[in-house]
Amino acid sequence: MTDNLPHEEYQYINLIKKIIAEGYWETGRNGRTKSIFGYSMRFSLQNGKLPLLTTKKTAWKTCLKELLWFIRGETDNKLLQEQGVHIWDGNATKDFMASRGLDHYPAGVLGPLYGYQWRNFNASYDSATGKPSEHASGIDQLQQIITALKDPVQRTSRRLIMTAWNPCQLDEMALPPCHILCQFNVHDGNKLSCALFQRSQDVCLGESFNIASYSFLTHLLAKHCGLEAYEFIHFMGNCHIYEEHLEPIKLILERTPFEFPTLDISALKDNINAYEASDFIVTNYKSHDVIKMPMIA
């Protein structure tokens, strides 16, 4: 845990400071970044705590709707757009899809990414429907984890791992996954934690979403499986700030974090696919204003 810090969010603030002070300039596929390699943070989820970053406003409803889209194994961006969620729009354009050799996909179809791998790992992908091909067989990693977490004998396994990184299908995806592997762990009989490894971290725009998303997921699995959410641990590989974000993000260094909000999930449902955004009640989220920065696709 992070008892030596006055607030857990200072881990994020210190990451920004470290990149600004010690980072290396690199030019990659989508622009110039200042980066470091290797960083980790820990956030308590006890007593319903939800680590939504407060030094800039986190669009948590957008994040939650994307998570539920992942959980259902969906890959069609139009389903997000219908809910007012536009975070995948930049990676769904015809030009971007053409850059990936996927311009033959129907508009909005993104390929077998994140949620598809969670629910249909390595099942052959029908780009016309955004679903597994007929008679395709894949591995439902998320359901395997749910089954284990509900079983007092299995829930202490050290093999509760879910991966979105599938080398066999990377070239079919609009974007290879950035948050690629998570591991769940239960201790003291009922305390559920999640550790995430992320290969590539957009510190200014992506970080707040990734923390929120996997914290929501851990709370949801705890509720669904009769456990208590305990901790979220975030391990990161390449942590970078895009050149266009470097000046705007410095505003965070002048801000003091607010207390994190709490989360209550109002209903227990039989099927993990049945949860809706309205079931998640976030209380006392107070934040500083949004910092406007362009999304770099």
Residue numbers of the domain that contains 260: 36-238+256-283
Asked whether residue 229 is assigned to any structural domain, the reply reads yes
Q: Given the structure tokens 């901790």, which residue do they identify?
A: 231
Contact between 233 and 195 under an 8 Å Cβ cutoff? The reply is yes
Asked whether residue 51 is assigned to any structural domain, the reply reads yes
Q: What is the pLDDT at residue 3?
A: 46
Q: How many folded domains does the chain comprise?
A: 1
Q: What is the pLDDT at residue 1?
A: 40
Active site residues per annotation: 178
The list of the chain residues with pLDDT below 70 reads 1-5, 297
Distance CA 253, CA 224 (A): 38
Asked whether residue 158 is assigned to any structural domain, the reply reads yes
pTM of the full predicted structure?
A: 0.95
Asked whether residue 111 is assigned to any structural domain, the reply reads yes
Asked whether residue 127 is assigned to any structural domain, the reply reads yes
Contact between 176 and 112 under an 8 Å Cβ cutoff? The reply is no
Asked whether residue 22 is assigned to any structural domain, the reply reads no
DSSP 5-32: SSSTTHHHHHHHHHHHHH-EEEEETTEE
pLDDT in tens, 53-106: 999 999 999 999 999 999 999 999 999 999 999 999 989 999 999 999 999 999
Asked whether residue 293 is assigned to any structural domain, the reply reads no
Asked whether residue 219 is assigned to any structural domain, the reply reads yes
Among 156, 168, 78, CA closest to 122: 168
Domain CATH code at residue 131: 3.30.572.10
- The radius of gyration computed from the CA coordinates of the chain, to the nearest angstrom, equals 19
